[in-house]
Structure 1
Amino acid sequence: MPLLFSYGTLRYPAVQQATFGRELVTRPDSIAGFRLELLQITDPAVIAVSGDTHHPILRATGNPADTVDGAVLDLTDDDLLRADEYEVDDYKRVEAPLASGATAWVYVGAGES
């Protein structure tokens, strides 16, 4: 099963219900070498689901002292595709190591590596 690290709206129960059809079991984790910024969302469907016009987005700093807290979601392959559909074009999905030692998919700014 794929793991997804979420630091934003995919942790919201309402967003999980709308995106995956159920609430997901999550566990806390963090990621190093990134900081959070806010991204203005203009997609009306995403705003309707999340209730927010600004969503957090990860920006790489390369500094291991910069950490972002979040949660790991256990997904199916189909869930991961649904998460891709939910995220707007300003995000891209990459694999990254987490503080727990796990490797998970995470959405970062589209210009990030």
Structure 2
Amino acid sequence: MAGRKDSLPGYRLSAVAIDDPAVVATGGKTQHPIVSRSGSPDDMVAGAVLAVTPDELHDPDRYEVAAYRRQSVTLASGTLAWAYVDARDAPPSAS
């Protein structure tokens, strides 16, 4: 799957413990990366933008554990995209 580089400002990358045995079996790891909103414009998480169909978007929805929430974000390029972020973060308020 081809993508283009972009980044997510105001977030930082960390790790989250995964205790769902099915997810650990599928991913092979008990720690997965997670992005959390920091609110600092100096923080940025590098990544890639992928074009996916609505059906493809629902596959990760079924896989992700409760630690993640799919949220609309604005990338450094100005592109609106879906990202799986730390579910403990409050969603940004609509302005």
Give the TM-score of the pair, scaled to structure 1.
0.74
Q: Which runs of 5+ in 1 are unaligned?
A: 1-23
Q: What is the CA-CA distance between 1:57 and the residue it aligns to?
A: 1.0
Q: Which residue of 1 aligns with 2:15?
A: 38
Residue 32 (structure 2) pairs with residue 61 (structure 1): no
The amino acid of 1:53's aligned partner reads T
The amino acid of 1:70's aligned partner reads G
Higher relative contact order (CA 8 A, sep 6+): 1
Q: Which runs of 4+ in 1 moved over 3 A?
A: none
Q: Which residue of 1 aligns with 2:83?
A: 106
> Among 52, 66, 75, which residue is 1:75 paired with?
52
Residue 52 (structure 2) pairs with residue 84 (structure 1): no
Q: What is the CA-CA distance between 1:100 and the residue it aligns to?
A: 1.8
How many residues are treated as equivalent by the alignment? Answer: 90
The amino acid of 2:32's aligned partner reads H
Residues 71-96 of structure 1 show CA distances to partners (whole Å, capped at 9, x for unaligned) of 11211111111111111111101101
Give the TM-score of the pair, scaled to structure 2.
0.86
